[in-house]
Structure 1
């Protein structure tokens, strides 16, 4: 049971951290809870389908199907997060002043939420499919139902608690700084996902390495450790990255920062028509 609990915890933790950042970044936008729950549901369904077809997927593209699928999922998430942070840079002032209001802010926020639903679904799909495959192999190896159930319960519970801790920690940030902080976290998240996508493409021999190992800090913080996995999800930490990973990371980071700066300069002033609509309590 401890082995099952540890693996489930680490995979759930990665998905929970992404979901927490998405929830915090869409604070106050109407119906965001439905979008997040829908994304989790779609992700779980996709994870089961991917797990069922794992053998077929792995044999595609000369045996590189799984790596290419992982890379595609990650790059899709990067594009969707990128669109959101640029949009948010344009509308953050409006949302901060009219948090929870109906009207233009909610209408615009819903379009951004549609993409973030997909981000949640992709995160759950990637981590969930790994969990399903692992649990299937453990079941075939003879572990009992009680061991599997207990490990799943402890793993899911621990990962979810860590996600909630991050979410409620972000909610304590003053509103005038809130969207700036969450936007930065989304940018770092996207850069890290882009770096991971490059690693999968490198494993599939679809990209040049440009340096097999630029440095190695695994002696200090390994990728497999809890802290390493957490930093890997939040900021894209890799103990021994290849050069192409650094290119993807830096390229994504610079592109989004430039896009956010451009969007901020072209942001329209908050619509006065929203003011009379009143304030609602932010949705947690």
Structure 2
């Protein structure tokens, strides 16, 4: 039971941290709860389908089907997060003003919200499929107390994710969107780095150095702090050179894109509706 609870905890924690950052970044946007809940439900459903198709994935691309699938899911999440970061860079001040004046009745950003919250489904899909596959293997091996371990691991991972979300909500409103945007940039860079690792494992990319350094003695990848740092900032105790290329390139592109987006004048709106003339 302990091994089951630990593995489920680590997988749920990864998804929960991503969901927490997304939920905080969309604070105040109307109907976000429906999007988040729907994303989680779709992710769970997709995870079951992926687990049922495990043999097909394993046989695809010379046995590297699972690695390629994980890389595609991660890169899709990077693109969606990047789009939201650029959108927020040009609309963050407007949203912050609306949050101060109208409380939670923020009408802007619905289109960006839909893209970003798809990341929730992708996160749950990737981590959930690994949990389902692991539990299936444990059950086939005759292990017991699977449901107890699943419940304990899920509750513990979700609790840490909620703690992060509660902490983010305490950030003053004038700094809130800047902080969450920065966290999303680091999150996207970390996901891109992890995608590169999967592509290296599938022999689709060169490693450019399998292990540039080893900081496991300080912070191991398998530890809870290491796992948390891995999701939030892309930490890897034993990174390959290609992972650093993906990480740095993602940071650079989003930083440059955000700078350009901030220079563009935002479209005037009244109650969330675009207007074609200046507001008096």
Q: With the length of structure 1 as denominator, give the TM-score of the two structures.
A: 0.92
- Tell me if 1:190 matches 2:193: no
- The answer for the alignment partner of 1:282 in structure 2 is none
Superposition map of 1:19-98 within 5 A: 19-98=19-98
| Contact 1:94-1:269 within 8 A present in 2 as well | no
In 1: Cα distance, 2:266 partner to 2:15 partner: 34
**Secondary structure at the residue paired with 2:44?**
helix
In 2: Cα distance, 1:120 partner to 1:233 partner: 14
**Further displaced range: 256-265 or 178-187:** 256-265
Tell me how far 1:269 sits from its aligned partner.
7.0
| Contact 1:13-1:162 within 8 A present in 2 as well | yes
- Tell me if 1:256 matches 2:254: yes
Question: How large is the RMSD of aligned CA atoms in angstroms?
Answer: 1.7
Tell me how far 1:268 sits from its aligned partner.
1.8
In 1: Cα distance, 2:154 partner to 2:118 partner: 21
**Secondary structure at the residue paired with 2:109?**
helix
Tell me how far 1:174 sits from its aligned partner.
0.2
Larger RCO of the pair (alpha carbons < 8 Å, separation 6+):
1
**Aligned pair partner of 2:155 in 142, 157, 162:** 157
Tell me how far 1:261 sits from its aligned partner.
1.0
In 1: Cα distance, 2:174 partner to 2:271 partner: 18
In 2: Cα distance, 1:68 partner to 1:138 partner: 24
Q: With the length of structure 2 as denominator, give the TM-score of the two structures.
A: 0.93
Tell me how far 1:274 sits from its aligned partner.
3.9
**Secondary structure at the residue paired with 1:121?**
helix
- The answer for the alignment partner of 2:166 in structure 1 is 168
Tell me how far 1:105 sits from its aligned partner.
5.6
In 2: Cα distance, 1:249 partner to 1:257 partner: 12
Would you identify which runs of 4 or more consecutive aligned residues in structure 1 move more than 3 Å?
none
In 2: Cα distance, 1:178 partner to 1:105 partner: 15
**Aligned pair partner of 2:236 in 235, 238, 248:** 238
Structure 1, gaps ≥5 residues long: 276-284
- The answer for the alignment partner of 1:15 in structure 2 is 15
Tell me the alpha carbon deviations over residues 28-61 of structure 1, each in whole angstroms, 9 at most, x when there is no partner: 0000000000000000000000000011101101
**Aligned pair partner of 2:225 in 227, 233, 243:** 227
Tell me the alpha carbon deviations over residues 70-118 of structure 1, each in whole angstroms, 9 at most, x when there is no partner: 000000000000000000111111110112859x962x41101111221
Superposition map of 1:105-144 within 5 A: 106=107, 108-144=108-144
| Contact 1:78-1:191 within 8 A present in 2 as well | yes
Tell me the alpha carbon deviations over residues 11-31 of structure 1, each in whole angstroms, 9 at most, x when there is no partner: 000000000000000000000
Structure 2, gaps ≥5 residues long: 273-280
The number of residue pairs the alignment matches comes to 270
